[in-house]
Amino acid sequence: MDIQGLIRAAHAATQHARAPYSGFKVGAALLCDDGTLYTGVNVESSSYGLTICAERVALFKALSEGHSGFQAIAVICANRTWCPPCGACRQVLWDWARDITVILARDENDYQQMKLSTLLPHAFDNGYLLHE
């Protein structure tokens, strides 16, 4: 896996973020098992609850194109602060990508790499749902 390339793709995506209210532009790059790369950006709404994060945009793009296996996701903020996935993104990533590698980056050489289970210990998943 080319971590720096994944970070560069996430950073390039930030220029397309739509953050007119917060100014907090985030980019994500998701690497599929077959090497396909999907990027995503945060898209804000004046009704803040309708805003969607970069990580979910990248994941939903990949899922909508038929992908189901994922290796890693890189997340970067345009202002180069640390930007870990929010709780909703952690849950959706767990549901669809399980214990994916998460790369939090400030630039190509300043990043942290961890498994999603580090960010979301004791994750809730379909194993807890009642099946009859």
The predicted structure's pLDDT at residue 68: 95
What's this model's pTM, rounded to 2 decimal places?
Answer: 0.94
When pLDDT is averaged across residues 38-52 and rounded to a whole number, the result is 96
Fold of the 3-128 domain? Cytidine Deaminase; domain 2 (3.40.140)
When pLDDT is averaged across residues 5-14 and rounded to a whole number, the result is 97
When pLDDT is averaged across residues 76-99 and rounded to a whole number, the result is 96
Our answer to whether residue 55 is catalytic in this structure is yes
- Residues 128 and 113: their CA atoms lie apart, in Å, by 28
Choose the catalytic residue: 55, 65, 108, 132.
Answer: 55
The predicted structure's pLDDT at residue 132: 64
Q: Inform me whether the pLDDT recorded for 9 exceeds 80.
A: yes
Work out the pLDDT band at 1, boundaries 50, 70, 90. confident
Backbone conformation region of residue 61, classed left if phi is above 0, alpha if psi is from -120 to 50, else beta: alpha
